[in-house]
Structure 1
Amino acid sequence: MLRVAVAKLAPKQKTVFACAECGHASPKWLGQCPACRKWNTLHEELPPPEERGAPRGFGGVARSARPIPLREVEASEEARLKTGIGELDRVLGGGVVPGSLVLLGGDPGIGKSTLLLAALERLAGAVEGRPILYVTGEESARQVKLRADRLGVGAENLHLFPETDAAKVLHAAQQLEPAALAIDSIQTQYLPELTSAPGTVTQIREVTARLMGYAKTTETPTFLVGHVTKDGAIAGPRVLEHMVDTVLYFEGGGAHPYRVLRAHKNRFGSASEIGVFEMKSRGLAEVQNPSALFLSERPEGAPGSAVAAALSGTRTLLVEVQALVSPTTFGTPRRTALGVDSNRVALLAAVLEKKVGIDILGCDLFVNVAGGLTLDDPAADLATVAALASSFRDRPLDGRTLVLGEVGLAGEVRAVAQSDARLAEAARLGFVRALVPAGNARHAEAPAGFSVEPVETVAEALDRLFP
Structure 2
Amino acid sequence: MARAKTTYVCQACGAVTPRWQGRCESCGEWNTIVEEIVDSGVGAGPKSAVAGGRPVALVPLAGETETAARVTSGIKELDRVTGGGFVMGSALLVGGDPGIGKSTLLLQAAAALAEGGRRVVYVSGEEAVAQVRLRAQRLGLGDRDVLLASETNVEIILATLQNGPAPDLVIIDSIQTLWTDRVDSAPGTVTQVRTSAQALTRFAKKSGAAVVLVGHVTKDGQIAGPRVVEHMVDAVLYFEGDASHTFRILRGVKNRYGATDEIGVFEMSTLGLREVDNPSALFLDQRDRDAAGSAVFAGMEGTRPVLCEIQALVAPSPLGTPRRAVVGWETSRLSMVLAVLETRCGVRIGANDIYLNVAGGLKINEPAADLAVAAALISSLTGSPLPADAVYFGEISLAGGVRPVVHAPLRLREAGKLGFKSAVTGRLASSDQGGDLAITEYSELAALIGQIAAGGKKQAAE
- Per the TM superposition, whether the score is higher than 0.5 is yes
Q: Among residues 434, 438, 456, which one is paired with 1:446 in the alignment?
A: 434
User: For residues 318 and 28 of structure 2, what CA distance do their matches in structure 1 show?
Assistant: 39
1-structure distance, mates of 2:347, 2:439:
26
Contact 1:382 1:407 (C-alpha < 8 Å) held by counterparts: yes
- Give the 3 Å change call, closer, same or farther, for CA 267–394 of structure 1 in structure 2: same
Cα distance, 1:282 vs. partner? 0.2
Equivalent pair of 2:80/2:262 in contact (CA under 8 Å)? yes
Q: 2:129 aligns with which of 141, 160, 175?
A: 141
Give unpaired runs (5+ residues) of structure 2. 47-53, 456-462
Equivalent residue for 1:331? 320
Question: What is the aligned residue count?
Answer: 445
Greater shift, 31-40 or 336-345, is seen at 31-40
Aligned-residue sequence identity (percent) comes to: 47
- Is 2:391 the partner of 1:399? no
> How far apart are 1:464 and its partner, in Å?
3.9
Letter in 1 for 2:38: P
C-alpha distance in 1 between matches for 2:86 and 2:388: 41
Q: The residue matched to 2:420 in structure 1 has which SS?
A: coil
Q: Verify the 8 A CA contact 2:81 2:252 in the aligned structure 1.
A: yes
| CA distance in 1 between partners of 2:248 and 2:24 (Å) | 35
For residue 177 of structure 2, what is the aligned residue in structure 1?
188
Structure 2 counterpart of 1:19, from 10, 19, 27? 10
Please point out which of 353, 356, 361 is paired with 1:367.
356
1:459 paired residue number: 446
Counterpart among 210, 216, 220 of residue 205 in structure 2 = 216
Q: Contact (CA 8 Å) 1:15, 1:27: kept in 2 or not?
A: no
1:102-131, Cα deviation, whole Å (9 max, x unpaired) = 1111111111110000011111233x3x42
Q: In the TM superposition, what whole-angstrom CA distance separates every residue of 1:391-431 from its partner, at most 9, and x where no partner exists?
A: 11011111111122111122211111111110111111111
Q: Does the aligned pair in 2 maintain the 1:351–1:411 contact within 8 Å?
A: yes
Contact preservation (8 Å) 1:259, 1:276: yes
Question: Residue in 2 aligned with 1:346?
Answer: 335
Report the AA paired with residue 110 of structure 1: I
Please show how residues 248-263 of structure 1 align to structure 2 within 5 Å. Answer: 248-263=237-252
> Structure 2 CA distance, aligned partners of 1:458 and 1:50?
58
Q: What TM-score comes out, normalization by structure 1 length?
A: 0.90
Match of 1:86 in 2: 76
User: Structure 1 residue aligned with 2:33, among 42, 57, 62?
Assistant: 42
* Alignment of structure 1 residues 1-400 onto 2, 5 Å: 14-33=5-24, 40-49=31-40, 66-71=56-61, 74-126=64-116, 128=117, 130-154=118-142, 156-176=144-164, 177-400=166-389
Q: Which moved more, 1:231-240 or 1:253-262?
A: 231-240
**Contiguous gaps of at least 5 residues in structure 1:** 1-9, 56-63
Q: What amino acid is aligned across from residue 42 of structure 1 in structure 2?
A: I
Name the CA shift for 1:93/1:48 in 2 (closer, same or farther; >3 Å): farther
Residue 379 of structure 2 contacts residue 386 of structure 2 at CA under 8 Å; is this kept in 1? yes
**Cα contact 1:438–1:456 (8 A) shared by 2:** yes
Matched residue SS, 1:353: helix
Q: Which amino acid aligns with 2:232?
A: M
Deviation, 1:298, is 0.7
Asked if 2 retains the 8 angstrom alpha-carbon contact of 1:22 and 1:239, the reply is no
Matched position secondary structure for 2:306: strand
Distance 1:307 1:262, change over 3 A: same
Per the alignment, residue 458 of structure 2 pairs with none
Q: Equivalents in 2 of 1:35, 1:292: separation in Å?
A: 43
Rounded Cα–Cα distance in structure 2 between residues aligned with 1:325 and 1:391: 6
